[in-house]
Structures are given as C-alpha cells and as structure tokens.
Chains A and B, each alone.
Chain A
Amino acid sequence: MKTLAALKKHAGLTAVQKTFIKNKKMSGAYTPEKWLKTVQQVSEFDELNDDARKTAGWSAVGGYLFSYLSGYIFLFGLPRIVGALIGAVLLLFAIANTYFYFSLRRKDIPDNLRQFVEPMLTILSEDLKPGSKLELNIDFRGADIKSKILKTDKKSNRITDIYYQDPWFHGRARLYDGTSLQLQITDLVRSRYIRKPKKNKCKYKAKRMLSVNMGLPHSYPSTMEKTKAGDKRNTYRERAVLESRTTGLNNMNWVVDMNRFLNLIGGIYKQAEHQKQG
C-alpha cells in the first residue's frame, strides 16, 4: 500500500518535479513561493518514498526467506506440492518488492531537501521582498562523478587519491533591506582507492564548507561613515563573507545544520553592529 501511495504521488508531480527527481538537479530563478511549492511536493513524495522503500525492502527479504522455508513445509505433514505453491507465490511477491525497492531507490532524494532546503526556503521567504526572485542551484547527484573531479593524485602503484569538489547548493537573493545574499554549500571529498591482491578498497574522507557572502546596503551602520551622499563611487555595498567548515563526514547524505547556516547570516549582521561600535 505504501508503495502504491508513493507511486501515485510520483504520478501526480509536474514534469519539472519529475525531471528533478530523475536528474537530481534543478536550477532557476523563481519567487520563494514557487520554489516552496515545487520543493514541498517533492519532499512529500520523498518522505513516502523512504517509507515505501523500507517496507518493500523488508518485504522482499521476508519473501525470499519464507519462500525458501516453504520447501520444508512437509515437516508439518503437508504435501510437498502445497509447499511448492506457497514458495512460488512468495517468490513472486519477493521479486515484485525487489523491483519496487530498486525502482524507488532510483527516485530517492537526499534528506537535505526535506530537512535543510525546505525550511531554509521558508525562512528566507520571510526576508525577501514580495515578488522578488530567488536564484537557486541544487545538485544532488553526489560528489563522486567525473565532472566534479578537482585533481587526481597517484600516491603509489597501489594508492590513488581522487579529489572532488561538489558545490551542491547555491542560492542568491536580494533581501528586503537591500542586502544581496549568496549562500553556498560545497562538499570537498577525497576518495582513496587502494588496490589489494584480493579485493580493492575505497575510503572516503569529506569536508563540508558552508559559505555566506553578503553585500550590506550602504545605509547600514557600519558603512554609514564611508558613504557620502551623491558620491557614486561610495555607493558600493560593503561585502562580508563568513565560512564554516565541518570535517570528518563519513556520510554524504549528512543533513546540513541549519542553525549553523543561520548563524553565519546572523553573524554578518552582528558584524555590522560591532564595526559600528568599534
């Protein structure tokens, strides 16, 4: 039932949403309301998908196990033919669930969409001018793809390091107070391939970099003294950049700590105050 609900939800999505789920990539400049509408429905589907996939996976495992055990049904005094029939039905059930499991897994979107992008958009929509557009570039394809290779380092005949740079989230917007805001999340991944006589090994080490770049309006307290009325050279926006690094990630689906991101934005607004006081 859960699988059917997930498939039904997927069928009800728009072409843009289906393309996003298929390609794991989306970019554009729309109003926060439009972004939220798109992301919310995909998130709802993803939640159903996660649930259905788990059920399908366990059902498949159970189906295979019981279809095997049905071969021993004669121990309970039942004819072997009954065992063979039950086994065949359970095997079909298990095969169908295996198909659904892999089919739904292909449509899986990282939890960062549901637990970071969606609440972040909701918060940002509060500070954006009504009708203003938010430029977003979301790429959930993962870091270990060819186009994201930064460099390859062959340490020895047996060990090769491949460095990936994955800027999977980039957003740009103009806030209500005129501040230009740029958000970026980049995963820096090192994958170490170790050749061994019997089995090759691959180890991952990753860092996540959160970056906030803000251009404060010239009317902010910290920039007030630098701005002269009528002087166009001085009407530039003061820029402030804050970055935060998280190291030692072993799971690239690790959900971004939203508070850390908000602290970066809040930190820049705090800086404006401190600069004024200093």
Chain B
Amino acid sequence: MCGKKGFFILRDCGQTALKLCQMCNRPTCAEHGIVLADDVLMCVDCNAKQKSESEVTGNYTQYDRGWTHSYRHRYYQNSHYSPYYSGIYFDHYYDDYDIRAFDQDLVEPAAFDESEEHGFFDS
C-alpha cells in the first residue's frame, strides 16, 4: 500500500506500490514517488520533509504533486492543522501531523459513499 493522498482529509492512495522509498522504506507508487539521481526513489512525503521553507513558499512557478505535498507538510506544521484520516492502513509515519483518525473497526473503505446511512466515526 502506498502513502496518503489528500490535503484536508487524508486517505489511502490505493495504488499498487512499485518500489520502496529510500528514506523511509515505505512502499511507494509511481504517482507518489520522485526519481532522483542514480534511479533512487523517494516518496513525495520524504521529499517534502527535506525541502526548506523558502523552497515551498517562495516564488514557485510549477505547481505539481511534489509541490502540493511540500506545501501540505509546511501547512500542517505552521497552522497546526490535524487532518482527518479516513483510510484503513495505519502507520506511524504521519504521527508528526497528529492525524485525527476515525475508529478503525468501524471504518469501511466505502465510508465516503454518500448513500450510506452511517459514514465514518470518531475514535
């Protein structure tokens, strides 16, 4: 399972991981991985943590997924925002963000389906 996607609400990426991130060893899919020199793969979250403040908030001209993750990382840190996590795959990588997770036992993958009478629950 790859990392988490989203900005205010995190969810599982759901795509099949191809390789492991060289920094955190988490499985990473092609969409959430950045290939560095020498064919080294780094996940967008690790890449975001490595970037400095000015690299993210400066005069940026290309807004891509790498930028979004870097911005998200800075936003969580600076505004102390704790995102909700609606997925089913927990790991300790996102502990820094103080994720407001819902109860694992009650959360179904289809929790976001509006037709459902009950959605996701707080732990």
Contact = CB atoms under 8 A, between A and B. Distances in A.
B86 interface: yes
B30 interface: no
Interface of B: 5-9, 11, 60-61, 63-64, 67-68, 71-72, 75, 78-79, 81-84, 86, 100, 111-112, 114, 116-122
Interface string A203-222: 00000000000000111110
Contacts of A265: 8
Ranked nearest first, the 5 interchain pairs of A and B with the lowest CB-CB distance are A219-B119, A122-B63, A221-B122, A266-B81, A126-B7
Contacts of B11: 176
Interface stretch (A96-104, A146-154, A162-170, A269-277): A269-277
A219 B118 contact: yes
Q: How large is the interface on A (under 10, 10 to 19, 20 to 34, 35 or more residues)?
A: 20 to 34
A176 B75 CA distance: 20
A217 B114 contact: yes
A175 interface: yes
B99 to A, nearest CB: 12
A83 B63 CA distance: 51
A262 B79 contact: yes
Interface of A: 40, 47, 114, 118-119, 122-124, 126-127, 175-178, 217-221, 224, 229-230, 259, 262-263, 265-266, 269-270, 273, 276
Contact of B6 (A126, A221, A230, A276): A126
A126 B4 CA distance: 11
Nearest to B114: A178
B61 A230 contact: no
A177 B71 contact: no
Contact residues of A: prevailing secondary structure: helix
Contact of B9 (A118, A119, A176): A176
Nearest to A175: B9
B122 to A, nearest CB: 4
A175 B84 CA distance: 13
A177 B112 contact: yes
Contacts of B86: 177
Contacts of B61: 47, 114
A263 to B, nearest CB: 6
